[in-house]
Structure 1
Amino acid sequence: MKEVVTIQVGGFANFIGSHFWNFQDELLGLAADPSSDPVFKNHSLNTDALYRSGETQQGTLTYTPRLVSVDFQGSLGSMSSCGSLYNKVASAPPDVITWTGNVSTHAAEPRRRNLFLQRLHEEEQENLTPVDGVNDARNSPQGEIKDEDIVESLESGVQYWTDFSKVHYHHQSLHELNGLWMDAQEFDNYGIGRDAFSWALRGEEISDRLRFFVEECDHIQGFQFIVDDSGGFSSVAADFLETISDEYTNTPVLLYSVRDPVSHTIHKSQKQTISKKLHDAVSFSRLSSFCKLIVPVGLPSLSQASPYLCIKDERPYHCSAVYAAALHSISLPFRMEPLGPTADSRYVSGAVDINGLIQMLAGGARRNMVAILDVAMPAPYLTGKQVGQSLLANLQTLTPEIAEDVEDLQSVESMTIHGALGSGGHRASVSDVKDVVDAAYEKAITRPMFCNLSVALCPLPIPLPFPKIFGNLVGQHGELLGSAVNTSPLRGSLDIHSIPLAGRLRSSSAILPFLENRLGNLRRFGTQQGAAGAELVRRWGFGMDELEDMGETLSKMVVELDPYSQMSSDSD
């Protein structure tokens, strides 16, 4: 078994992570529930790749994510930084030897749990006393807190990523940056991150937390790193990544740089615009220099991403759910059982580890280390005329600033499809999915040089705290209906139990506009003579030599994809 350690840095990264771990927790619950669909019991997915087994000091067995999360102080809402499984011992007030007057202690009241967290707490208290039978959280007989009330309260009241988290975390997982009480809108550029947090002075504790999880691994396959790179957390993540590259030289990092739609807000002043463009260039250059594959994620608007979704862009709770679903799909091959005595080819096909995925997408002759993320949510039926074209056409990109309809004869793709539905809404077999996808690529006008396909029968489960983002053309199991159901136009976990999903990573020259925009802005505002942002990046702590090195790095990325690009040939 090859383990994955997950790292989440920054607010939106942790929103995505909260949904991601909810999916995993739901899979675990369904696998243990004797009344659930058999596909959730025999999925041939090894959850030990993501989770660790342990025990509390009281002797309680635990099963928690192999995770390090970093965020602002105060970002955990009602959750303790020790998680919910471990008792936090209150520390005694420090002795102030230089003060002879009276000393008073002011302690803030803990944030009150919302309805969802209250329900979880009540169920945990009930489980402390064994009872006969199995309680289904979704159909609990508790009358005081109803599922409908929970769903509505989350729709209107999510403030922290912990507000909708149904997962127990290890006490080493959750780290708050002490002293950083800043508003996220103020923590909005690389320089502020550098000024507010010195890794040399305060990073060792975070490194120790990561070391704890890595040293438990028998054979770590890599790091799954999610960073909110829209502001100062990009600087924190870059320093963290540099430490990882030094300490774990041969362990690959798959990096998702994520942003919510609000971070794409157009700034009114020229100064703000220049700062934003320089941040984007510096952040991407620094982050990409410490990983094997980087995947930019985050559209200016998700509301048009799919005709079957109804997403409110201003709510991170909504947007992060879509990105988490895509990351769940892409990560499925990392925990598929390889073909052998423990795996069943009826349930999964196409297992690949993180290093294999990176070598596939970034290790070829062209060595493009920037990948595009696409998703079909829900995936369409695998029946009827032009089914293959329908599947490929439903894949919507989640990566910003890319070119459309690009014919790239050297492109490479890795696709995961799980829970696909065939005729009559029945689950399609692994072999049927492979046949349909092969036929689709054979008939496609443009097709990649190579495509790896991973297939699983297990669909994406929809846990109770999932937002109401499905339209009324989506059925209970994610089937796409011919006519709207006679219910609310917005559907969530009370209406949808699971959905088929397709996720795809691709190495393609379609990413060129993304790269060229960052290279052009770095030159225009940072390195050219008389550049308007030269003084700004100097205050961020970067000299001209460092900026020119960043420009050279970005230029090489452009050249790998387009040797004849005018921008790549421009003199620095």
Structure 2
Amino acid sequence: MSGREILTLQFGHYANFVGTHWWNLQDLSFNYDPSTPSEINHDVLYREGQTSRGEVTFTPRLLLADLKGSFGSLSEEGDLYKPNIDPNNVQTNWNTSQLQVKHVEQRQPKNDFLKDLENPAELSKIHNKEYNFETTAKVWSDFLYSRFHPRTVEVIREYQHCNENTPFDAFTLGSAVWKTPQFAEDFSDRIRNYIEECDNFQGFHLITDCTNAFSGLSSSCLEFIGDEYNRKSVLVIPVIPSHFSDNDINSEGELAQSVLNDSVRVINLALSFNEFYANSSLFVPLCAGSKGWRQPGPKRSFKNVEYNNKLAYHSSAILAAALDTFTLKHRLKSSPFTLSDLAADLTHSGRKAAAASVNLPFPMGENSDLLESLDNCHDPLYYSITPNCHIGTRRAMQHITIRGIKEERLKKPLNKAEKQRELPAYRTKDIKEMMTMYLAYSTETTASIVTVGHEPLVVRSPFPQIFTKNLTSNGFLSNMRRSNENKVESIPLLAGLHCCTEVGKMIESLYCEAKKLKINRYHEFASGGLDKDSYEESLDNLFTLSENYDDNCFV
């Protein structure tokens, strides 16, 4: 099945953490059994190719950018179309005794997981082996299972990853990188090359850091997309880490630097949200921290999940699981739904921003049915993963996706139903109808669109084992504790996108925080050409966006 192609763009280190988990999850969902074909149309996000040896490849339709030194052992061209070459074994024609070497850049050693990926004897065992990613995953490529096309990776060589002397930390620095002919021409050519391969290209997913200079780089790219492909839809996913290392304070000097860094991050957020408002079809901020700004704040809590919010490897996995689920509707074979349909549903009256939610795993007993689970549910149906946003239950438009529950587990059979037969929901015929009824009762004056995916989310390694011991291997609740040898391999999951008044309050909180800051005091922005009037105009636009979510605007 072909058509409806989407090109994914990733900007920044944390965005690439989220993206790596997302591509890993999708690769794990591939079904190679022709008798049980996948319900997902993988052609939407993947492209078919061929190596020089005639081998067929299926790789993400993806472009990503990150700083020099942030790729670990990953080659820029990858090893899919040509093998990695050890420079020490290369035959040369020049006299090496006459060469003067001033600097040798050491190749990063590969961890056990990456070594096993290259070993055919170990490849089949890789999802059942124990890898200590909590300590070995320093960069996102350390747990990358997917194989990339040679044109996927773009390295920003002017800046070094984690270099405190020349940090890539301000919106204007990212904008300046895009203006360099070397980057802009190369990156835009790669975009064109991908799109020219498509039969029925529909738009872009853009996942980006929004607290550092990648906010400016992605905003400039978004402006280019608007000029060149203004009829195509763009879903922007700004991501915020759930922890910044400079927030671990041990001295007065570190405190002062942390406060300054927090202020710079707020400015980057305000400037980028303004650009997303102007140039995207829809943008959905994600963060596993509850505040997002000035600091990420306390971590979001999920029942039956235990994760370390200081590890990007953990927090990005939660965001990726939600991303994979709330984008499912426009990736299903059975659905003609598109990105433009999603934007049309959630962006009435200039409401370009939406909130996201997730419940992982969806709380359902191993011997229960969906009706019993919903009827006995006293906890929230979903938990917000959008910063500074508590998702309400009234006056909203929402897309809810539930996956991993078979239709035969809808309700008890008639001869065993007992009191279930008295419930109005017992008369529903499928999961979609039951969930729609439940949402109609639990959310006031809210329009809900429900999508059902019957295949669960596969969470085998390299996805982190962050699930509590009261879950079975397929992610359902049990009275028995799972042994350490048995891992959770798949989970049922619910995720949503919400347009509601609380989104306006989220935007307003960012506006108020950014309004406190005097832009002229932050030389990295002023030297980049951002003056007070331009900054004030961006803030005014944010305030206008927040007003679009006023209660009186909702019908």
TM-score, normalised relative to structure 2: 0.83
Partner residue, 1:71: 66
Partner residue, 2:385: 398
Are residues 254 and 424 of structure 1, via their aligned partners in 2, closer, same or farther at CA, if it must alter by over 3 Å?
closer
User: Please, which of 505, 509, 513 is the counterpart of residue 513 of structure 1?
Assistant: 505
For 1:72 and 1:391, the matched residues in 2 are separated by 46
Residues 473, 487 of structure 2: 8 Å contact kept:
yes
Deviation (angstroms), 1:522: 3.6
User: Please, which of 532, 538, 549 is the counterpart of residue 561 of structure 1?
Assistant: 549
Partner residue, 1:433: 431
User: Please, which of 184, 189, 194 is the counterpart of residue 208 of structure 1?
Assistant: 189
For 1:210 and 1:440, the matched residues in 2 are separated by 43
Are residues 387 and 563 of structure 1, via their aligned partners in 2, closer, same or farther at CA, if it must alter by over 3 Å?
closer
User: Please, which of 200, 203, 227 is the counterpart of residue 219 of structure 1?
Assistant: 200
Deviation (angstroms), 1:372: 0.3
Partner residue, 1:130: none
Q: Establish whether residue 358 from structure 1 lines up as the match of residue 343 from structure 2.
A: yes
Partner residue, 1:157: 136
Partner residue, 2:307: 311
Are residues 163 and 65 of structure 1, via their aligned partners in 2, closer, same or farther at CA, if it must alter by over 3 Å?
same
Are residues 451 and 389 of structure 1, via their aligned partners in 2, closer, same or farther at CA, if it must alter by over 3 Å?
farther
For 1:443 and 1:265, the matched residues in 2 are separated by 45
Partner residue, 1:545: 533
For residue 509 of structure 2, what is the amino acid of its counterpart?
A: N
For 2:313 and 2:499, the matched residues in 1 are separated by 29
Partner residue, 2:145: 166
For 1:424 and 1:371, the matched residues in 2 are separated by 32
Q: How does 1:73-222 map to 2 (within 5 A)?
A: 73-87=68-82, 103-104=100-101, 106-123=103-120, 136-138=124-126, 147-148=128-129, 150-151=130-131, 153-183=132-162, 186-194=167-175, 198-222=179-203
The secondary structure found in structure 2 opposite 1:310 is coil
User: Please, which of 277, 281, 289 is the counterpart of residue 270 of structure 2?
Assistant: 281
Are residues 4 and 486 of structure 1, via their aligned partners in 2, closer, same or farther at CA, if it must alter by over 3 Å?
closer
For 2:387 and 2:454, the matched residues in 1 are separated by 30
Are residues 155 and 453 of structure 1, via their aligned partners in 2, closer, same or farther at CA, if it must alter by over 3 Å?
same
Residues 299, 309 of structure 2: 8 Å contact kept:
yes
User: Please, which of 41, 46, 50 is the counterpart of residue 46 of structure 1?
Assistant: 41
Q: Establish whether residue 419 from structure 1 lines up as the match of residue 421 from structure 2.
A: no
For 1:89 and 1:487, the matched residues in 2 are separated by 40
Deviation (angstroms), 1:408: 4.0
Aligned residues: 510
Partner residue, 1:322: 318
For 2:449 and 2:245, the matched residues in 1 are separated by 33
For 1:552 and 1:403, the matched residues in 2 are separated by 24
Partner residue, 2:370: 383
For 2:69 and 2:62, the matched residues in 1 are separated by 19
Q: Provide the alpha-carbon RMSD of the alignment.
A: 3.3
Deviation (angstroms), 1:276: 3.2
Q: Mind listing any 5+ residue stretches in structure 2 that lack a counterpart?
A: 92-97, 248-253, 290-295, 414-427
Residues 302, 311 of structure 1: 8 Å contact kept:
no
Deviation (angstroms), 1:539: 3.0
Q: Establish whether residue 229 from structure 1 lines up as the match of residue 229 from structure 2.
A: no
For residue 77 of structure 2, what is the amino acid of its counterpart?
A: C
Deviation (angstroms), 1:425: 10
Residues 22, 463 of structure 1: 8 Å contact kept:
no
For 2:229 and 2:112, the matched residues in 1 are separated by 42
The secondary structure found in structure 1 opposite 2:510 is helix
User: Please, which of 318, 330, 333 is the counterpart of residue 329 of structure 2?
Assistant: 333
Are residues 427 and 325 of structure 1, via their aligned partners in 2, closer, same or farther at CA, if it must alter by over 3 Å?
farther
Deviation (angstroms), 1:484: 5.1
For 1:393 and 1:537, the matched residues in 2 are separated by 42
For 1:501 and 1:469, the matched residues in 2 are separated by 15
For 1:425 and 1:474, the matched residues in 2 are separated by 20
The secondary structure found in structure 2 opposite 1:390 is coil
Residues 172, 530 of structure 2: 8 Å contact kept:
no
Partner residue, 1:343: none
Deviation (angstroms), 1:514: 1.9
The secondary structure found in structure 2 opposite 1:473 is coil
For residue 229 of structure 1, what is the amino acid of its counterpart?
A: C
The secondary structure found in structure 2 opposite 1:32 is coil
TM-score, normalised relative to structure 1: 0.81
User: Please, which of 485, 492, 516 is the counterpart of residue 524 of structure 1?
Assistant: 516
User: Please, which of 425, 445, 456 is the counterpart of residue 459 of structure 1?
Assistant: 456
Residues 412, 507 of structure 1: 8 Å contact kept:
yes
For residue 200 of structure 2, what is the amino acid of its counterpart?
A: H
Partner residue, 2:356: 373
Partner residue, 2:425: none
Deviation (angstroms), 1:505: 0.3
Are residues 545 and 389 of structure 1, via their aligned partners in 2, closer, same or farther at CA, if it must alter by over 3 Å?
farther
Residues 372, 506 of structure 1: 8 Å contact kept:
yes
Q: Mind listing any 5+ residue stretches in structure 1 that lack a counterpart?
A: 94-100, 128-134, 140-146, 339-349, 566-572
Partner residue, 2:490: 498
Identity %: 25
For 1:155 and 1:484, the matched residues in 2 are separated by 27
Partner residue, 2:422: none
For residue 467 of structure 1, what is the amino acid of its counterpart?
A: P
Are residues 241 and 392 of structure 1, via their aligned partners in 2, closer, same or farther at CA, if it must alter by over 3 Å?
farther
Are residues 427 and 309 of structure 1, via their aligned partners in 2, closer, same or farther at CA, if it must alter by over 3 Å?
farther
Task: Kindly report structure 1 stretches of 4+ aligned residues shifted beyond 6 Å.
Answer: 88-93, 422-428
Deviation (angstroms), 1:217: 0.7
Q: Deviation per CA, 1:443-491, whole angstroms, max 9, x where unpaired?
A: 21x335311111111110123211121111221111022x351534xx9
For residue 328 of structure 1, what is the amino acid of its counterpart?
A: D
Partner residue, 2:279: 290
Residues 461, 499 of structure 1: 8 Å contact kept:
yes
Deviation (angstroms), 1:163: 1.1
Q: Deviation per CA, 1:127-155, whole angstroms, max 9, x where unpaired?
A: 9xxxxxxx84358xxxxxxx44x42x323
